[in-house]
Chains A and B, each alone.
Chain A
Amino acid sequence: DSGVTQTPKHLITATGQRVTLRCSPRSGDLSVYWYQQSLDQGLQFLIHYYNGEERAKGNILERFSAQQFPDLHSELNLSSLELGDSALYFCASSVAGAWTGELFFGEGSRLTVL
């Protein structure tokens, strides 16, 4: 158990809908990362938050948005969903101190868009 909690584990929805994925980082971790994993693209970096502030953006679509709240949990909002958005969405957190190259990943939220 990495200590990172993601909900929901599975989500099935229709095209055009909006969903929110939630992530609670490990206790004490200030950084939260969101990744999208699909079979053909692998793990794609979406966005990084540090202590409530956006630090870096990857290939995140304009239909997607995220935020990190004062209690450090984070939410990824996906709107106007398309079939191609079906994927596994991972949240990861990292320690605030010495960098070790380690991201602690949750078990992911599997999104299926029908």
Chain B
Amino acid sequence: QKEVEQDPGPLSVPEGAIVSLNCTYSNSAFQYFMWYRQYSRKGPELLMYTYSSGNKEDGRFTAQVDKSSKYISLFIRDSQPSDSATYLCAMSLNTGNQFYFGTGTSLTVIP
């Protein structure tokens, strides 16, 4: 079983839609949860970072962590064509430790 599972999609939505991206994980010791965005032919870049359970909001993006269910989500409101990218979840046991990445979900927002 992989440490982190993520539906690869692809996901295609119309502009303005709410997008929900999800990951599940098996290691209950994970404490740090991140979402990275990767545009084609580019390296991943950090979108959001959350420690332990709870919600975090940044503009149109909301990250949720449910440690009891070992489930994390990223919501994108009012999706834009510029949001078209691959979204990777990542987790870490503690600071400075290796990151465990999901395989990524490919998202296309259609104008």
* Residues of chain A at the chain B interface (Cβ within 8 Å): 2, 4, 31, 33, 35, 40-45, 48, 50, 55-56, 58, 90, 92, 94, 99-103, 105-108
Contacts and interface: CB of A to CB of B under 8 A. Distances in A.
8 contacts: A4-B43, A33-B98, A45-B98, A94-B96, A101-B49, A101-B92, A102-B46, A107-B41
A41 B90 CA distance: 14
B45 A99 contact: no
A106 B99 CA distance: 16
Contact of B45 (A2, A31, A48, A58): A2
A99 B95 contact: yes
B103 interface: yes
Contact of A90 (B43, B90, B95, B100): B43
Nearest to A99: B95
Interface of B: 6, 32, 34, 41-46, 49, 88, 90, 92, 95-104
Contacts of A102: 34, 46, 49
B110 to A, nearest CB: 23
Contact of B44 (A43, A100, A101): A43
